[in-house]
Amino acid sequence: MPVQRPMLRFGSRGEQVTLLQGALNLWPEPTSHNLETDGIYGPKTLGEVKRFQSVKKVSADGVVGPVTWGLLEPLLNQLVSLITPPKQVEQAMEAVVAVAETALASFGWPGGTIQLNPLSARIAAAKCAAPDLPTRPRQGGLSIRSIFQFAGAQPLYYPRCTTISTEAEQKWQQSGSSATAWRNGNDLPSWCGIFCYYVYRLAGIDLGGWVNHDKNIHSDKKFIVTTNPAAARRGSIGCLDGIRAGGHNHHFIVKDNHNGAIYSIDGNTHGPNQNNFQTNYSTVARRRYPHTYLKQQDTYFLFPDFKKIAP
Phi, psi of 126 (to 5 degrees): -90, 0
Mean pLDDT value of segment 143-161:
94
Confidence band, pLDDT 50/70/90 cuts, at residue 1: very low
The parent domain of residue 22 ranges over: 15-83
Let me know if residue 93 belongs to a domain: yes
The reported pLDDT for the residue numbered 218 is 86
Structural domains counted in the chain: 2
| 109 and 62 co-located in one domain | no
Identify whether the C-beta of residue 16 lies closer than 8 Å to the C-beta of residue 3.
Answer: no
- Give the residue from 83, 99, 115 where a domain finishes: 83
- For residue 117, pLDDT over 60 is answered with yes
CA 60 – CA 26 distance, rounded (Å): 19
Amino acid at 222: K
User: For 260, left (φ over 0), alpha (ψ -120 to 50), or beta?
Assistant: left
Mean pLDDT to the nearest integer, 275-301: 85
Question: Sorting pLDDT into bands at 50, 70 and 90, what band is 7?
Answer: very high
Is residue 121 pLDDT above 90, yes or no?
Answer: yes
pLDDT tens across 236-250, in order? 999 997 755 555 689
Do 35 and 98 fall into the same domain?
no
| Whether 66 and 97 share a structural domain | no
Lowest mean pLDDT among 118-127, 143-152, 223-232, 277-286: 277-286
pLDDT of residue 308: 83
**What's the rounded Cα separation, in Å, for the pair 20 and 13?**
11
Return left, alpha or beta for 137; rule: phi > 0 is left, psi -120 to 50 is alpha, else beta: beta
For residues 109 and 223, state if they share a domain.
yes
Query: Is pLDDT of 28 > 80?
Result: no
CA-to-CA separations, 140 to 42, 109, 111, 159, in angstroms, rounded: 53, 11, 17, 14
Contact 308, 220 (CB under 8 A): yes
Same domain, 157 and 221: yes
Q: Is residue 4 part of a domain?
A: no
Judge if 171 and 184 occupy the same domain.
Answer: yes
pLDDT band at 30 (very low <50, low <70, confident <90, very high): low
Q: Please indicate, yes or no, if residue 33 is contained in any of the structural domains.
A: yes
CATH number, domain containing residue 33: 1.10.101
Q: Does the residue 10 lie in any domain?
A: no
Residues 76 and 101 in one domain: no
The whole-number pLDDT of residue 307 equals 82
Measured distance CA(54)–CA(7) in Å, rounded:
18
Query: Residue 168 above 60 pLDDT?
Result: yes
End-to-end CA distance of the chain: 30
Q: Of 147, 142, 258, give the one whose Cα is nearest residue 201.
A: 147
Residue 123 and residue 235 in one domain: yes
